[in-house]
Chains A and B, each alone.
Chain A
Amino acid sequence: MSTFTFATVQYESGDWDSAPLVPANLIDSIARYTEIDVAPSGVVVPLGSEAALRYPLLYLTGHLPVRFTAQEKQVLTRFLDRGGLLFVDDHNHDVDGMFHKTVTEELEQVAGVLRKLPNTHPLYSSFFRFEDGPPNTSHELNGWGDNLLHPYLMAAMRGDRIAVLYSNKDYSSEWNFHPDNKRFYSVDNTRFGVNLVVYALTR
């Protein structure tokens, strides 16, 4: 049985560990809603290390400018070419922020152009159904960051498969709470994270 382990990317520039509770929260959701064999705790894996290839779903976030090293670009290229999926979330929720500007530049060098992902994409129905595309976050609705509601996610594709999924919606803030506090939510806001993991494991 191959166990799913949630992996957060550690990159040399920026603050890669800005959302430390996200892994535990998503692991809790996966265990709560699915039968997927999930490791009870996540791992942190350096992007410049071959070890990144052991985790075909990687999560990358931060607030600060991102510049990948040559080694990081090389590993990331291999990772994407071999079938991995990199999920990148802008923790600033700001299209004018330095994280967005720099990381999208870096990603487009490695993975190609990021394009709008249609809201009818199978990602939005891989487990829970999100008729309107990516769910909005409280940070978008409260007007923080760029004060915009981002109606779609961006993606770089390999064939019909998402290789890089890019979000300006700040799921890193939305999901960065202790799993025990889910009981205070009328609707679990991490459900889209389950879709992301199920999509990565099945497509």
Chain B
Amino acid sequence: MPSRGERRLLERGSRAVALAALGGLLWLAWRPPPPANARVTVDGTAALPAFLSQATRAPVGALALVIDSIPGRRERDWLRALAGAGTAVTWRRAGATALRGDLTGIAITAEPVVDPSGRSRIVAVGPPGAPLTISDEAGGMDSASIASSGARVLDATVDGIVTGGGARSVATTAPRDSVVLRPVLVLANAGWEGKFIAAALEEAGWRVDVRFAVAPRVAVVQGTGGRDQAATIAGIDTGRYAAVVAVDESAAPHAAALVRFVRQGGGLVVGRDASSVVALAPILPARPGAPITPVLGAIASDQPLRALGGIALSAPRRDAVVLDRLGGAARGVAARVGVGRVLMLGYDETWRWRMEGGEGAPAEHRSWWSAMVASVAYAPLAPLRPATAAQLVDEAPYAALVDALGEPLPDQPSAGAPISAIAWQRLRFVLLFVLLIGGLLAEWTSRRLRGAR
């Protein structure tokens, strides 16, 4: 049993230890920043958040970051801030060479499709063959590998923020805009072609106005313009129509308005019989060429368009694009005119495809015509979400990382074992705290044992 003197000595020693621990803790809390030349290596993206928190309180002179997945937006911004505050930040990709391709990451965008369905076109790019999962706030949308082209395209209705990525990189996006789709005007003689084009477009979701010429000064007018024929025709402008389908020569009286409409930005689809309208010739992307003989019996085959007669489109303008080619002949050619677009088609009687084609023919005919009109339609954008929503997405995390920190360092062996700076800092706090509590407890216990308070 220690004597009273020994106990006092022990108690003083314990108090001294506790005070020293307290002093150490106070020093750790209020100590000046470490020397500017201190260098820290953080190995692994998972360790980054804890390090960043610490490095903000105790700035480091240089940070060497070795990542095994793309840091999130928050960490990147934090790193950029540290770099701005004077920390020299360098980074490189970890892992075997074969895995480094994955770390170029996924980038993803969602843009509105010019289509009445309201879908968005999601384009994800990344390393070819990399697994990719796309989902939105409603659930999974697609799961596949990125094609050899390095991209995957998906047209879908989007609910909220879209997330795409794999194990090592995740990108998010959200449609920022929607398209404003005005009605489509169909100009035709009363006949099956005009009727079924209008029907196909309506079934695809377009709002359709029609003007079917029936007799001299008599036309059947339907749609948003009501029965007021003059209003429907006088209003061929981009404020009223997204596109006009000129099916045949009945468009001739409106040719000047159509040319003006296209130059304003409107879209014009010129059917085979309308291509003979002289006043439309200056805006046509090609010239009517040789007649094409339809292939008998092909209407119910897997290439029903071969069963349709018509013409080949020849001598396309230099800036024209062939959108539809069949059997070596151009059957659909498009070009920009002013700020609008013109698509010229060389098919006769596409309605036969719908009526006589195979099982899915009505849907195929509908999709085809909808796509033709969509390819030229005037579709101004309208903001879809508040601007703040766009700030929540992270469309190209790898590019953003390079933008924040510069290019990664070339491959090199790790410069020695990484210092676990964070762990050491924490350990020192814990040790000092244990010493503080231990010293105080020892003193208190000793005093109680000798009967003092």
Binding site for B on A (CB under 8 A): 1-4, 33-37, 50, 53-54, 56, 79, 81-84, 126-127, 198, 200-203
Contacts and interface: CB of A to CB of B under 8 A. Distances in A.
B343 interface: no
Interface stretch (B164-172, B210-218, B416-424): B210-218
B362 A198 contact: no
Contacts of A1: 189, 191, 248, 273
A35 B189 contact: yes
Given A4-B191, A35-B189, A56 B355 contact: yes
Interface in B181-237: 189-196, 199, 210, 212-216, 218, 220, 222
Q: How large is the interface on B (under 10, 10 to 19, 20 to 34, 35 or more residues)?
A: 20 to 34
A126 B220 contact: yes
B190 A203 contact: no
B362 A36 contact: no
A5 B204 CA distance: 28
Contacts, number: 77
A-B pairs, 7 with minimum CB distance: A201-B190, A202-B220, A34-B215, A202-B212, A53-B355, A53-B356, A2-B191
Contact of B190 (A56, A79, A83, A202): A202
Given A83-B196, A83-B199, A36 B214 contact: yes
Interface of B: 189-196, 199, 210, 212-216, 218, 220, 222, 248, 273, 348-349, 351-352, 354-356, 361-362
B421 to A, nearest CB: 71
B192 A4 contact: yes
A33 B192 CA distance: 18
Given A202-B210, A203-B195, A37 B356 contact: no
Contacts of A126: 220
A200 B190 CA distance: 9
Of A37, A81, A200, A202, most B-chain CB atoms within 10 Å: A202
A34 B190 contact: yes
A37 B215 CA distance: 11
A54 B273 CA distance: 20
B214 A56 contact: no
Nearest to A126: B220
A33 B215 CA distance: 7
A84 B196 CA distance: 10
17 contacts: A2-B348, A4-B191, A33-B215, A34-B218, A35-B189, A35-B213, A50-B356, A56-B192, A56-B351, A81-B362, A82-B354, A127-B215, A198-B220, A201-B190, A201-B192, A201-B212, A203-B195
A41 B348 CA distance: 22
A36 B248 CA distance: 13
A4 to B, nearest CB: 6
Contacts of B352: 54
A83 B354 CA distance: 9
A198 B192 CA distance: 10
